[in-house]
Amino acid sequence: MKLFNLTLMVFAPTFFVLAQQQKKSPSFEEVISLRSAGEVVISPDGDMIAFTVQTTDWIDNRFDTEIWLARNSGEPFLLTHNPKNSSNSPMFSPDGKWLTFLSDRGKKVQVYALRLSGGEAFPITEEEEGISAYQWHPDGKRLILLKSEKEAESLEERKKRYGAFEIDDKEYVMSHIWEIDFDPLFTNPTEVPCYEKSDSLKVSADCMEKPKPRRLTNGDFTITSFEISPNGKLIAINHQPDPMIMSSMKSDVSIFDLETKNLKLLVSNPGGDRFHAWSPDSKQILYVSDLEDTVSNFYKNTKFFRMAIEDKKPVQLAAKLDENPSNLIWNSKGIYGTFWKKTLRPVYRIEPKDGSFRQMPGFPEQVSGLAFSKNGEKMVLNARNGNQLNEIWIANNTQKPAPRSISQMSKQLANWKVGQSELVVWRSVDGSLIEGVLHKPADYDSTKKYPLMVVIHGGPTGIDTPQPVPGYVYPILQWLDKGALVLRPNYRGSAGYGEAFRSLNVENLGVGDAWDVMTGVDFLSAKGMIDTDKMGVMGWSQGGYISAFLTTNSTRFKAISVGAGISNWMTYYVNTDIHPFTIQYLKANPWDNEEIYRKTSPMTNIKKAQTPTLIQHGEFDKRVPIPNAYELLQGLRDQGVPAELIVYKGFGHGINKPKERLAAMWHNWQWFGKYVWGEEIEMPLKEK
């Protein structure tokens, strides 16, 4: 088999290596505490930028999100501060005088308004159910809200008599849209005395009330998102039969007329349809659709259309862009969106008339978010290059955008030893080209062989890209500093490589994925880079499943860590909250084709297992329910294989609190330290 590689980031200069040696290896806590940039919006005139920043609160054991503001491309400053909860979803008013946002300040999530010329934030809404989304109406005098309905009174009565129970997949509340007036000069009701009439009805008299939301939509469906047309007359609505997670595969698009209050169905296919953007003249919409596909949309491309509201004739756009679109925006300059292109995520401009497209030059390598000023001439991005953390950038929407970073997230790494990323390519067992991100120590010596740690992403339609601080619950920077190589393979099924590549593990899950991992190991071994007697493999979710598959189908690793991984597809199929996922990839349920479930399940070859395996799982995981963890644990113990299960209390599919994430990192550090390096490591319980 011929092996070759493609290296994008080649040998570092000597001065860079020396500089890295003088830097420190960060602690686990420092990695978890890195600030990160999130949502970004720009004011209508393009003079102000608001974005969210996530920080770590170790005292309250939570990740906090707050809003920062930059004026005239100046230095950003912290705008909101909610000591116990977060602030997010920033949005400028149409006149640019106000910034609104969502925040829970003790009375569930409400919409708050902050005058940008100065003053305190105050709530616009006071809804018992809270607000899940909102948007300013173009007239600046009202907002449209998305909120859930109240729980039926009959359920409350039932609880009083029979306690708590629910009928699976049948008890839920729908969400609909409402509108509320915005009048910043409205008198607070507490400023005016309120008396009660002296009659027996005790009716309040001369009392003022704050503006209350008015309901706009009704029906036996739930609204998931919406957008008001630029002319303010219509609202495009994404809706589905109920709030259950898989009902998104049945989503449709309707148009609500704010004047007539009529709701008309616009796009309805057997597969999911999802509105993305209005045309600037409010006459057309941009949407994506799975059309008739309800059996392979998990891994095939969604289609991308524009449609005139009057004639309802869809026109497909950018059909040859072989990836799924994100961040679709339609303004007077054209249609814009991001599409994965291997490990890059560039911005594309699409011509609305004929669907032709071009990649816009001059932007950072991975763009995860973008927004435009009202005239489309200025744009802001959340983006990074492979050696950076995500930053907030401002650019002109021209042939030479010259983006400039206004945030300083990457400065957090100034004194750190960080991952040096290199892209490598190899051929798998069936000849498929597989790409991976290889990280090397700062003082890498090509004459030496290194221990290898393989970290496998989830999805399967996730993707790993070059970055300075990879990790989640895996102490990658510390392993690099310890003198290891780290390989993060984009196995078959990963995003970024087109629909055909994402389809390669259909009816071949685990099997083909394992080929891709092991041939990556063989590739590095053939180049003389790794010590094959010191190798470990790990991953979370789909990466945990592949790790579990390797546990029972390979003896080449010294240690394995299975994070929230599937161990038996039959067990998974009857427990998960996304049943169609299994059928789409395995093309049958377990009663119609038991063999495909056996072929792809780690438990099938449990008697071959020999590798010490750590299992990490959230207590209340609905995506990969915890029976998968217990089944693998018992099977390994029955075979006398060293195995340990750590259950993270109160968590679902991910570990989203800092202290438990710290614990998970230590658990992996201990496990691989013991079985790859032969070290006994204790978790510190007190500060040194």
| CB atoms closer than 10 angstroms to residue 188 | 9
Q: Residue 112 is part of a domain; what is its CATH number?
A: 2.120.10.30
- Please say if the pLDDT value at position 5 is more than 70: no
Please compute Rg for the chain using Cα positions: 27
60 in any annotated domain:
yes
Task: Find residue 78's DSSP bridge partners.
Answer: 68
Mean pLDDT value across residues 178-206: 70
Is 577 exposed, middle or buried (CB count within 10 Å of its CB: 0-12, 13-18, 19+)?
Answer: middle
Q: Model confidence over 286-338: pLDDT tens digits?
A: 999 999 999 999 999 999 999 999 999 999 999 999 999 999 999 999 999 99
Mean pLDDT value across residues 605-630: 97
246 in any annotated domain:
no
Contact 176, 235 (CB under 8 A): no
254 in any annotated domain:
no
Nearby residues of 622 by Cβ (< 8 Å), 6 or more positions away: 576, 577, 652, 653
Tell me, what's the pLDDT at 373? Answer: 97
Q: Which range among 201-210, 240-249, 348-357, 449-458 shows the weakest confidence by mean pLDDT? A: 201-210
- Please say if the pLDDT value at position 4 is more than 80: no
Q: How many angstroms separate the CA atoms of 406 and 401, rounded?
A: 15
- Please say if the pLDDT value at position 504 is more than 70: yes
Contacts 24+ apart (CB under 8 A), 73-80: 73/49, 73/394, 73/404, 73/406, 74/406, 75/406, 76/49, 76/51, 76/392, 76/406, 76/407, 79/50, 79/114, 80/114, 80/121
Q: Model confidence over 379-412: pLDDT tens digits?
A: 999 999 999 999 999 999 998 899 999 999 999 9
- Please say if the pLDDT value at position 12 is more than 80: no
Mean pLDDT value across residues 610-633: 97
The share of the chain scoring above pLDDT 90, in percent, equals 87
639 in any annotated domain:
yes
Mean pLDDT value across residues 232-237: 98
Q: Residue 613 is part of a domain; what is its CATH number?
A: 3.40.50.1820
Tell me, what's the pLDDT at 19? Answer: 56
Q: Which range among 144-158, 169-183, 541-555 shows the weakest confidence by mean pLDDT? A: 144-158
585 in any annotated domain:
yes
Tell me, what's the pLDDT at 7? Answer: 37
347 in any annotated domain:
no
- Please say if the pLDDT value at position 187 is more than 90: no
Give the mean pLDDT of the chain: 93
Tell me, what's the pLDDT at 59? Answer: 96
Tell me, what's the pLDDT at 37? Answer: 97
More confident residue, 154 or 78: 78
Tokens of 119: 């003053």
Residue 571's alpha-carbon distances to 106, 629, 650, in angstroms, are: 41, 10, 22
- Please say if the pLDDT value at position 271 is more than 90: yes
- Please say if the pLDDT value at position 1 is more than 60: no
| SS3 of residue 479 by DSSP | helix
- Please say if the pLDDT value at position 196 is more than 90: no
- Please say if the pLDDT value at position 114 is more than 60: yes
Contact 520, 487 (CB under 8 A): yes
Cα within 13 Å of Cα(315), Cβ side: 15
The share of the chain scoring above pLDDT 70, in percent, equals 94
229 in any annotated domain:
no
Tell me, what's the pLDDT at 197? Answer: 55
Where do the H-state alpha helices sit in 431-558? Answer: 476-482, 499-502, 511-526, 542-553
Q: Dump strand ranges (E) for 360-457.
A: 366-372, 378-384, 391-396, 404-405, 420-427, 433-440, 450-456
Of 211, 228, 259, the domain-final residue? 211
**Amino acid at residue number 128:** E
| CB atoms closer than 10 angstroms to residue 685 | 5
Contact 514, 551 (CB under 8 A): no
Q: Model confidence over 164-185: pLDDT tens digits?
A: 888 888 888 999 999 999 988 7
* pLDDT band at residue 21 under the 50/70/90 scheme: low
Mean pLDDT value across residues 10-35: 73
Contact 573, 589 (CB under 8 A): yes
Task: Find residue 40's DSSP bridge partners.
Answer: 51
267 in any annotated domain:
no
Q: Quick one: CA torsion of 31, 35, 38, 40, rounded to 10 degrees?
A: -150
Of 161, 194, 211, the domain-final residue? 211
- Please say if the pLDDT value at position 656 is more than 90: yes
- Please say if the pLDDT value at position 471 is more than 90: no
Which domain range does residue 132 map to?
33-152+171-185+203-211
Nearby residues of 653 by Cβ (< 8 Å), 6 or more positions away: 541, 564, 618, 621, 622, 623, 624
Tell me, what's the pLDDT at 8? Answer: 36
Tell me the Ramachandran region of residue 681: left when phi exceeds 0, alpha when psi lies from -120 to 50, beta otherwise.
Answer: beta
- Please say if the pLDDT value at position 345 is more than 60: yes
Mean pLDDT value across residues 251-276: 97
The domain total for the chain is 2
